[in-house]
Structure 1
Amino acid sequence: MLRYAVIFFIIALIAALFGFTGIAAGATEIAKILFFVFIVIAVVSFILNLIQKR
């Protein structure tokens, strides 16, 4: 999931470089959403792993 966030971030950078502000804004929003979803899943996985080892 983090890979997709990075891909959308790169797409946003390239689109912004060429002046496609609408596409860049959309790709940036998708990258942000995917990044935060990744963070939530990583934290939940870490907590469940700690619980399971007890």
Structure 2
Amino acid sequence: MNRFVRQWLKYDLVVQDELGYVPFDQLSAQLLFQVPAARYELGSTIITTNLEFGQ
């Protein structure tokens, strides 16, 4: 696990706001997925977006 992901494990709550507002390249998308996956059962994560559910 890299240092970036480990630093997000120490928080009780992480809010990822406006997900989908800016397009991601493949590496960024993978990293974005790693944070909530690593936090599973360790802390709460809220993800918000203005995209329609189907998008």
Is the shorter-chain TM-score for this pair beyond 0.5, marking a shared fold? no
Give the TM interval when normalised to the shorter protein. 0.3 to 0.5
Whose Rg is larger? Answer: 1
Q: Name the structure, 1 or 2, with higher relative contact order (CA <8 Å, separation 6+).
A: 2
More strand, by proportion: 2
TM-score normalized by structure 1?
0.35
More helix, by proportion: 1
TM-score normalized by structure 2?
0.35
